[in-house]
Amino acid sequence: MKRINGLLCSLPFLLVGCSTWADSMTTSSKDSVSVSIHGVNYTADAFRYVVVDPKDPKNSGGGEFIEPFGAGGIMCCYSLPKQWRPGIQIQVRSTHWLPEKPNGELPEVKEVFTVDVPRYADGKAGELWVIRTAEGKIDVVSSDLQPNHPKWPGKVKGWPVPSIEYRRERWELYRKIAENDVALYQGLLGELNASRQERTQKAWPNDLRIHQEEMKKFSGPNDPAYAEFLKRRYMRMLAKAEARVQELMKGKP
């Protein structure tokens, strides 16, 4: 999957049997069952969540950071009643961050949602899903199914899909990074051609630290073979950066 199209690579497509794993880690009472927790984010804001039982603060879990239009992994654990009944509530403490301001400040917004747990779709408590909806509200679902399953009981179906605005924002960021890489290696090659000894003297200490074994074949920074080694590396990295720019331009959202 290409990088620009891989914005959902963190989604836990292989999450299976999580409640069984959680059960083995935590002892449940005869009336409750311990389940794992997952977060899903349908907004363009990164967010973090913690779930707490309003009647028992010791029953809590979560805390993971969820990327925009992404999903988290497996968090442990939360205790749910084995049998659903009306009035089961969960408090979700949510934190999200607004776009960075020109001065570098990253505004933080903290919210507390008390939400009802909907009826267990298959009659038993499943994994607890904490869902930040596109409107910025919080829903919860108890199910061993995932959001892309045909029988998923949640209101929102399927995994998050990045908005065109978010995709363009990410694309612009990746484009700038790739173009900066092009400029970097063009500059290094220019410096190497204009003042070989000065460039090799600058590069030698770092290469000696990172590539200890490979550097043993050179007598020192003034070794002509080392200069050629640097030139080949810079040319290789420049070609890679230029190819990256071309790839991004073809895939512009």
What are the backbone angles phi and psi of residue 55, rounded to the nearest 5°?
A: -95, -10
pLDDT tens across 119-130, in order? Answer: 998 889 999 999
pLDDT-derived band of residue 5, with 50, 70 and 90 as boundaries? Answer: very low
Question: pLDDT value at position 6?
Answer: 33
- Is pLDDT larger for residue 65 or for residue 14? 65
Question: pLDDT value at position 29?
Answer: 67
- DSSP per-residue codes, 2-35: -STT-TTTTS-TT--SHHHHHHHHSPPPTTEEEE
Question: pLDDT value at position 23?
Answer: 38
The C-alpha atoms of residue 166 and residue 171 are separated, in whole angstroms, by 8
pLDDT-derived band of residue 14, with 50, 70 and 90 as boundaries? Answer: very low
The C-alpha atoms of residue 68 and residue 7 are separated, in whole angstroms, by 9
Mean pLDDT, residues 6-23 taken together: 38
pLDDT-derived band of residue 26, with 50, 70 and 90 as boundaries? Answer: very low
Give start and end residues of each alpha helix (H) in the chain. Answer: 18-25, 164-194, 196-210, 212-215, 224-250
pLDDT tens across 196-244, in order? Answer: 999 999 999 999 999 889 999 999 999 999 999 999 999 999 999 999 9
Could you identify the residue written with the tokens 């399953």?
Answer: 149
Mean pLDDT, residues 98-120 taken together: 92
pLDDT tens across 29-87, in order? Answer: 688 999 999 999 999 999 999 999 999 999 999 999 999 999 999 998 999 999 999 99
Question: pLDDT value at position 121?
Answer: 84
- Is pLDDT larger for residue 60 or for residue 3? 60
Mean pLDDT, residues 11-39 taken together: 59
Q: At what angle do helices 196-210 and 164-194 cross, to 10 degrees?
A: 120
Question: Is a pLDDT exceeding 60 seen at residue 154?
Answer: yes
Structure token digits, residue 99: 């776009």
Mean pLDDT, residues 106-134 taken together: 94
Mean pLDDT, residues 131-143 taken together: 96
- Is pLDDT larger for residue 191 or for residue 30? 191
Question: pLDDT value at position 99?
Answer: 82
Percent of the chain with pLDDT over 70: 89
